[in-house]
A = this chain, B = another copy of it.
Amino acid sequence: MEFVAIVALLALLQYIWFAVLVGQARGKYGVNGPAVTGHPVFERYFRVQMNTLELLIALLPGLWLFAHYVSPTWSAVLGAVYLVGRFLYLRSYVSDPARRGAGFGLSMLPILALLLGALAGAVRNL
């Protein structure tokens, strides 16, 4: 299970890094809290952080339940694919929001695989 925990912690540290980028964009583009709009590049960084939060709520239970009911090794592998996908999502969204599709898919599909695999495993265990 250590690899699953390490992947989960790296996903959270990646997310905190995204939040730091949002804070830096606040300064650079002069968007003071509580505002979350005002400059298009700031808004891209903010949406990357928010979308990552939206995925983490499903990734983390998915990693654990898949590891428990199916396979810890494959759970960590799917989590590693997510990490790469999220990094590509950041890169593409900030340069051009219209090109975020590949990075989004590469971070969303492992989550769906984790949730559906864990669901099948839990149902089989009934």
Contacts and interface: CB of A to CB of B under 8 A. Distances in A.
Main secondary structure of the interface of A (DSSP, over half): helix
A61 B44 CA distance: 27
A98 B6 CA distance: 36
Interface string A50-93: 00011011101110010011000000000000000000000001
Copies in the complex: 3
A32 B119 contact: no
Given A5-B65, A123-B6, A34 B47 contact: yes
Interface of A: 2-3, 5-6, 8-10, 12-13, 15-16, 19, 32-36, 40, 43-44, 46-47, 49, 53-54, 56-58, 60-62, 65, 68-69, 93, 97-98, 100, 111-112, 115-116, 118-119, 122-123, 125-126
